[in-house]
C-alpha cells in the first residue's frame, strides 16, 4: 500500500509537463500511505440484538419458557435447557449453567456468560405468563468486556 501511494505521488509529479512540481516529504508520503484506523467497538461482542419470531421456530424454542425483552424486542429466549441470543447478526446457542425460572437464569457458551435477574418481586400477569422488571448482563469471558441492560423477564406457565 505504501509503495502504491509513493508511486502515485511520483507519477503525479512526473505528469506535470513543464509545470513546477511539488516535492512530497517522506512524512507526507507516510501519512498518505497509511489507511485510516478503524476503531473497533469494544461492546460489539456483548451487544445482543433482537430475535425474530422465526428465530424461535427455526431453533426449536417453541413452547413455554422464559425470555428477556426490552420494549417489544426479545433479546434472549430460553426453553427447556436451550437458550438463544443474537450477537453480530449470528444466533448463538447458550446452555443453562443454573436453573432457569421466574427469578432469572444463568447461561453460557465458550465465549459468553449471560445472567438475568429480576429487579422486583411484583410481577405483571400477561395471559399465562408473568413479567418482572429485570436486568441482563452479557460478559465476553475472553476479553472481560460486559454490558448490562434493563428490561423485562417473562416466564410462561
Chain position carrying cell 441492560: 149
Report, in angstroms and rounded to the nearest whole number, the Rg of the chain calculated over CA atoms.
Answer: 26
Domain co-membership, 92 together with 127: yes
How many domains is the chain partitioned into structurally? Answer: 2
The enclosing H or E element of 31 equals helix 26-33
Domain co-membership, 114 together with 69: yes
Whose CA is closest to 92, among 55, 57, 117, 65? 55
Domain co-membership, 75 together with 24: no
Domain co-membership, 26 together with 61: no
3-class DSSP state for residue 150?
A: strand
| Structural domain includes residue 149 | yes
Give mean pLDDT, residues 85-111: 92
Residues in the chain: 157
pLDDT above 90 (res 24): no
Q: Given this model, what pLDDT does residue 68 score? A: 96
Q: Given this model, what pLDDT does residue 8 score? A: 47
Structure-model confidence comparison of residues 128 and 139, the more confident one: 139
pLDDT tens digits, one per residue of 41-73? 888 889 999 998 788 888 888 777 999 999 999
Residue numbers of the domain that contains 8: 2-33
Q: Does the predicted TM-score (pTM) go above 0.75? A: no
Amino acid at each position: 500500500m505504501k509503495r502504491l501511494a509513493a508511486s502515485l505521488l511520483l507519477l503525479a509529479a512526473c505528469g506535470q509537463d513543464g509545470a513546477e512540481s511539488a516535492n512530497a516529504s517522506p512524512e507526507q508520503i507516510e501519512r498518505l500511505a497509511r489507511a485510516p484506523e478503524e476503531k473497533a467497538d469494544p461492546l460489539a461482542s456483548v451487544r445482543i440484538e433482537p430475535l425474530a419470531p422465526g428465530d424461535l421456530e427455526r431453533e426449536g424454542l417453541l413452547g413455554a419458557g422464559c425470555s428477556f425483552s426490552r420494549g417489544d424486542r426479545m433479546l434472549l429466549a430460553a426453553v427447556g435447557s436451550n437458550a438463544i441470543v443474537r450477537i453480530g447478526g449470528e444466533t448463538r446457542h447458550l446452555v443453562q449453567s443454573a436453573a432457569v425460572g421466574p427469578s432469572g437464569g444463568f447461561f453460557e457458551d465458550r465465549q459468553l456468560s449471560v445472567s438475568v435477574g429480576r429487579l422486583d418481586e411484583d410481577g405483571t400477569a400477561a395471559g399465562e405468563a408473568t413479567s418482572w422488571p429485570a436486568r441482563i448482563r452479557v460478559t465476553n469471558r475472553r476479553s472481560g468486556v460486559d454490558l448490562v441492560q434493563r428490561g423485562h423477564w417473562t416466564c410462561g406457565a
